[in-house]
Structure 1
Amino acid sequence: MPKTTTTLSCACGQFHLEVTGDPFITAECHCTSCRNAVQRLSVLPPAFPIAGDNGGVPYALYRKDRVRFPDGTDKLAEFRLSDEAPTRRILTTCCNTPVFTEFEAAHWFSLFAGLWPEGQRPAARIRTQTGDIPDGVTLDDSLPAGTMTTAGFYAKLLGEWIAMGFKSPGITIEEKINA
């Protein structure tokens, strides 16, 4: 059975990406790094909501060989929490739409769930890094959660990497955003 291709775009429609099939994981991340990055990126005009009501950042994880950039990468810029940070968040330069988070040498993209129209967003199936939630934040029990990233999460990542033949393709993005 052929996998479906979904085309997603930035808010202004100048940038597109295509994903093939369904994400292999949909997660809501509560790590300090994601929360700090979202806080800094959320002030860029037009100030897209990135985090959920509980502060978690919803992602749809896709193998890199299942994501295509038909419009190229010339409308993308990277943001890092510091010059040494191994994780980068990628936004569009045309309208500051958050596109994905990428870990150094990773074989997957963590696409921001906000790329999908409201009624079509893949629902989160797990919460990660809940040990980092700030005091006073209470999470409901609607999703399985781990104070760290769970063993099942890592097992799924490894399985997808094996399916890709242990490849970790890169994507070059020259422009940088400071926030």
Structure 2
Amino acid sequence: MASNEERRDPDIRRTASCQCGAVTLEMVGKPIVAATCYCHSCQKAGKAFAALTGASGVVGADGGTPYLLVRKDRIAWLSGSDELEEHRLQPDAPTRRFVSRCCNSPMFLEFTKGHWLSIYSARIPEGERPQAEMRTIVKDRPDGVELADDIPNYATPSGKFMWRLLTAWVAMGFRAPPLEATKGYGR
């Protein structure tokens, strides 16, 4: 669901930055979706990130990781892309997460063959951060966690979630640019 501001201005710009501000990126336009993920992988990675010196957490008390899915062609690096360090849960995992070396801030997740980045919501200033529209993979939430019914709670990635990914990919001409190509906006 688009915010009123996004409906008025489809070219809205948001920034994401590490805690110290050395790594910054800009996102333009409406995100694919704002969601919170409860999968075991996000929980495991979040715990590992929280153990880094000075790192801020990305996993909430309920075990969910809020993020904003953004098309890769709608991202531009403003500073510090050379400060990013890749983390994978398994050496051959298709998902890699990036942390800033300067202050150990988890920044985003990339499915390497995907056309989007999942920017951790904690990296976006509170006033610019869209509210989650859905919770996904809630079947993996920690035992005893009860979720509100204020937004949809999906046990697995929903049809709506997958539709949004597909329509974004169609709009990109079925391209999935490599992360290295996001140094400026791809058109």
Deviates more, 1:56-65 or 1:9-18: 9-18
Deviates more, 1:153-162 or 1:46-55: 46-55
- State the identity %: 43
Q: Cα deviation per residue 1:34-80 (whole Å; 9 max; x = unaligned)?
A: 01110111111213021122110000110000011122521111111
Deviates more, 1:67-76 or 1:99-108: 67-76
Q: Match for residue 80 of structure 1?
A: 88
Q: Whole-Å Cα distance in 1 between the matches of residues 80 and 101 of structure 2? A: 13
TM-score scaled to structure 1, two decimals? 0.91
Report whether the alignment pairs 1:52 with 2:56: no
Gaps of 5+ in 1: 173-179
Q: Match for residue 64 of structure 1?
A: 72
Higher helix fraction: Structure 1 or Structure 2? Answer: 2
Q: Whole-Å Cα distance in 2 between the matches of residues 126 and 2 of structure 1? A: 21
Report whether the alignment pairs 1:38 with 2:42: no
- CA drift at 1:22: 2.6
Give 1:65's aligned amino acid: D
Q: Match for residue 124 of structure 1?
A: 132
Q: Whole-Å Cα distance in 1 between the matches of residues 97 and 165 of structure 2? A: 19
Q: Cα deviation per residue 1:17-38 (whole Å; 9 max; x = unaligned)?
A: 0110231200000001101110
Give 1:162's aligned amino acid: V
Give 2:81's aligned amino acid: T
Q: Match for residue 161 of structure 1?
A: 169
Q: Match for residue 15 of structure 2?
A: 7
Task: Tell me the matched-pair count.
Answer: 172
Q: Match for residue 32 of structure 2?
A: 24
- CA drift at 1:2: 6.1
Q: Whole-Å Cα distance in 2 between the matches of residues 163 and 141 of structure 1? A: 32
Q: Cα deviation per residue 1:80-108 (whole Å; 9 max; x = unaligned)?
A: 11112111111111111111111120000
- CA drift at 1:142: 1.6
Deviates more, 1:46-55 or 1:162-171: 46-55
Report whether the alignment pairs 1:143 with 2:151: yes
Give 1:88's aligned amino acid: R
Q: Match for residue 133 of structure 1?
A: 141
Aligned residues of 2:55 and 2:106 also touching (Cα < 8 A): no
Report whether the alignment pairs 1:110 with 2:118: yes
Aligned residues of 2:38 and 2:65 also touching (Cα < 8 A): yes
Q: Whole-Å Cα distance in 2 between the matches of residues 4 and 120 of structure 1? A: 10
Gaps of 5+ in 2: 1-8, 181-187
Please, what is the CA RMSD of the aligned residues? 1.4
Q: Whole-Å Cα distance in 2 between the matches of residues 130 and 148 of structure 1? A: 7
